[in-house]
Structure 1
Amino acid sequence: MAEYHVENFGCRSSRSDGEAIAAELRHRGLKPATDFAGASVVVVNTCSVTADADSGARAFIRRVHRKNPDAKIVVTGCYAQRAPEELATLSGVTSVIGNSHKSLVASIIVEPTAFVPLATVVNRVPVFVDESFAHTDLATLPFADDADQTRPNLKVQDGCANCCSFCIIPETRGPSRSITLEKALESVERFVQNGGQELVLSGINLGRWGRDLKPAKRFADLVSAILERTVLPRLRLSSIEPMDWTEDLLALFATHTSRLARHAHLPLQSGSDTILRRMYRRYRPWHYAEKLSQIRSLMPDAAIGADVMVGFPGETDALFQESYDFIAAQPLTYLHLFPFSPRLGTPAAELQRYQPVHKEVMNQRMDALRALAEGKNTAFRKSFLGRELSVVTLRGNRSATTPALSDNFIKVEVAMTYPPNRSIQVRATRLTESGLHAVPLAE
């Protein structure tokens, strides 16, 4: 029996795609390999949000070919959509499948000759890419409810039309597309029937879910339906743009306090109004602060996170300080930090030619924000010492403790062994390097 390995790079949505591809390969008779070195097929599910993401994928492909030269290397994802010819020249790559054909990855691997009419050939490698995304049907990429995960991602939306000046995603993911409410509910039901405890809703621009459906719906409609029409124990929402935190969505957190995870992630990118305008972001700092204030008021113990980009072209010391001061004043509990990376074809890449931020300066600013974030996160975790938390157990290798995640996004080491996918109550006893140590409460 052929064995496969799927290596995922990038965001939750990308990982959700990878889980679905793996499930499809199992359904078609392939067996998961222990690692890529023993696989006959290696699927490299790429990201292309930064130059580092591209180089990381290339390095992995080279490593696979060096250690497992007989493996068929199939490259898919955002990098495959953006630069298929570049990937087709790498040694060991046997096919390149863009996001436009991602739902066909398993089928192409198992029955390659059946899809020859859809491919072009580059360096003797079949390439499946359609810039119009005419072959893309989000609903055909299934939810991997049999994936070997305790908190799987259900991707309900793909694509984006925001066209931020730094972002290549509209090109690599196409326009916003949603699965139907009915398909989402079916996936949630299957997960619940399999004993699932926590499900994460994900998407490239998640808050835009439903706008393309007929009749159009709003994201709050989906969340409400899941909570009212299923018995899912816990629902967690991944990243949602600031202006998509609507009154209807916020109201659900007030009425479903035990089933909606106390966790909000709002991409910020910069706390400087000048930089936000150059980024073509659709909100101002005061809008963002207002949303955070509403969320903190509704959920005093919630984890609240943000994406922050450092070194956008033209970010002077004064503009960075403006951003730093804004972030410091917000009730954030963690940050995802990214250095600016020019993507060819975006307006920001052109700005980079004239107003670059030098790497040393960028690194200093990253360090400053990293220290700020660590301080905020430590204070947040300290506030739960001696308190009870609801956690879902994860898979782990330690014999005496069990890794878990709290509903408010704190990593917890539980001082007892449990199987994965159990919902338990614990009491936090001390800080760990990045989370909390806790003891289970009597059940």
Structure 2
Amino acid sequence: MDKKRSVAFHTLGCKLNFSETSTLSRLMESEGFEKKEFDDLADVYVINTCSVTDNADKECRQLVRRIQRKSPESFVVITGCYAQLKPKEIASIPGVDLVLGAAEKFNIAQHINELAKGNDAKVCSCDIEAVSGFNASFSQNDRTRTFLKVQDGCDYTCSFCTIPMARGKSRSDSIANVVKHATQLAADGVKEIVLTGVNLGDFGKGPDGGRHEEDFFSLVQELDKVEGIERYRISSIEPNLLTNDIIAFVANSNKFMPHFHIPLQSGSNEILGLMRRRYRRELYAERVGLIKTLMPHCAIGVDVIVGFPGETDKHFQETFDFLHELDVSYLHVFTYSERDHTKALEIQPVIPIPVRNERNKTLRNLSYMKLQYFTQQQSGQTRKVLFEGFDKHGMMEGYTDNYIRVSTPYRGEWANQIIDWELR
């Protein structure tokens, strides 16, 4: 390979993956690699995978085939959750040269430097129980909002989820390190930080799994003091870990935005039990009620899974009715898909795929109506919008503090600036 090598990245999945891809990109650039767009020709292609749904697995395979057609001599590296869960399966995909599991992804440059084209795919993985340590990550120069990873892994055992098997035990950065990263991002001109993690509310466990004398509430209090960062968002937080103290703090903060994303997964207590979730719908409704009492303008997003094994028409109707009555702003609807080595595979009956898809469609329609209603409620209000710097065919976009997307003709002087905006 030439001395000045090039690398291109593609990310599948969550905000956490985006933060890690950005960090991997900077690591590669520090090793002398030139960063390219994924559609360009590059010497190395890195795909950071997700394994929450079957679609992410399929998309990974499609991307490898696309690279093979476009640039068969390039190296293809697969990392992320799918790589940790099914390294041998990925290594067997024609065109894949290197598979990096959870413990090795941040050693990517060293592994790439040792590659030779034509050899069998090299697998660098390990037992997930051996994964420890915390690798701080943040996205930078990719978008106006920066994703800052503060926690990784999960100690929960939800019956549908493979993430603990893919990312290991819950572990966190220290508050001091997070504040240091936030201060550096502020110096680089970042206006908004989105705090990310696998189980964000569980913040406080050290790299070895032991407990710091710190928790998520302490973290948000310290970040609120950082000069230069004007906005924070909490990407997703379990309802049982979203305490009244955190809600009240956000309500009184000028920096933490009135916007929560709270996974529900089902509005049926029976299904929540089968899912091995750590709360019931009553607690969820209580959290939403407190948020809306303190912040009537707050946006609330909800994750929900449809078609989980055992979910009868009655259970689904419970979920629909619960969400219909709940004062939330939008839904992220996931169709259940079977994942190897999960307890959900033992639950009967299995819901037919067409029924799953129909339920997904029903909830997506409900989400559309919820978002329309929430947006109309804000009409006539003046809210602060942080505009992104991208020129999209003469237009630019931004988000209000309470996460309503705004579009307007492009004005360069508004890029990465917070503007008072009357919603209509």
TM-score per shorter chain, which class? over 0.9
Amino acid at match of 1:41: V
Equivalent in 268, 286, 289 of residue 285 of structure 2:
289
Contact 1:36 1:42 in 2 (8 A): no
Alignment match, 1:32: 35
User: 2:419 matched to 1:424?
Assistant: yes
Measure the CA separation in 2 of the matches of 1:181 and 1:202: 14
Amino acid at match of 1:191: L
Equivalent in 230, 234, 238 of residue 237 of structure 1:
234
**Pairs within 5 Å for 1:29-68:** 29-68=32-71
Alignment match, 2:192: 198
Alignment match, 2:311: 315
Equivalent in 383, 387, 395 of residue 389 of structure 1:
383
CA offset digits 1:393-438 (Å, max 9, x no partner) = 1133335432111111111102441353211111123xxxxxxxxx
User: 2:356 matched to 1:362?
Assistant: yes
Secondary structure of 2:130 counterpart: coil
Alignment match, 1:377: 371
Measure the CA separation in 2 of the matches of 1:274 and 1:132: 31
Contact 2:75 2:96 in 1 (8 A): yes
Equivalent in 318, 326, 346 of residue 350 of structure 1:
346
Contact 2:304 2:333 in 1 (8 A): yes
Shift of 1:384: 2.2
Equivalent in 127, 130, 134 of residue 131 of structure 1:
127
Contact 1:253 1:298 in 2 (8 A): no
User: 2:99 matched to 1:96?
Assistant: yes
Shift of 1:143: 3.2
CA offset digits 1:148-203 (Å, max 9, x no partner) = 32111000000001110011111001000101111111110011001111010000
Measure the CA separation in 2 of the matches of 1:379 and 1:341: 31
Measure the CA separation in 1 of the matches of 2:83 and 2:271: 30
Contact 2:194 2:235 in 1 (8 A): yes
Secondary structure of 1:240 counterpart: coil
Measure the CA separation in 2 of the matches of 1:9 and 1:216: 34
Shift of 1:25: 1.2
Secondary structure of 2:338 counterpart: coil
Contact 1:399 1:417 in 2 (8 A): no
Amino acid at match of 1:77: G
User: 2:211 matched to 1:217?
Assistant: no
Secondary structure of 1:374 counterpart: helix
Amino acid at match of 2:123: V
Secondary structure of 2:240 counterpart: helix
Identity of paired residues, percent?
37
Shift of 1:137: 2.4
Q: Where do 5+ consecutive residues of structure 2 fail to align?
A: none
Contact 1:33 1:39 in 2 (8 A): yes
Measure the CA separation in 2 of the matches of 1:31 and 1:341: 38
Equivalent in 68, 71, 79 of residue 76 of structure 1:
79
Amino acid at match of 1:129: S
Shift of 1:218: 0.9
Measure the CA separation in 1 of the matches of 2:211 and 2:350: 44
Secondary structure of 1:87 counterpart: helix
Contact 1:103 1:136 in 2 (8 A): no
Amino acid at match of 1:273: N
Alignment match, 1:277: 273
Shift of 1:142: 4.0
Measure the CA separation in 2 of the matches of 1:230 and 1:2: 38
Contact 2:81 2:102 in 1 (8 A): yes
Contact 1:188 1:230 in 2 (8 A): no
Contact 2:47 2:60 in 1 (8 A): yes
Amino acid at match of 2:120: R
- Number of matched residues? 415
Worse-superposed segment, 60-69 or 168-177:
60-69
Amino acid at match of 2:309: P
Alignment match, 1:438: none
Alignment match, 1:228: 225
CA offset digits 1:210-260 (Å, max 9, x no partner) = 13455331101111101124441111110000011112211211321x211
TM-score by length of 1: 0.90
Structure 1 stretches of 4+ moved >4 Å: none
**Pairs within 5 Å for 1:180-199:** 180-199=174-193
Measure the CA separation in 2 of the matches of 1:341 and 1:156: 28
CA offset digits 1:100-137 (Å, max 9, x no partner) = 22221233224559xxxxxxxxx822111111453542
Secondary structure of 1:266 counterpart: strand
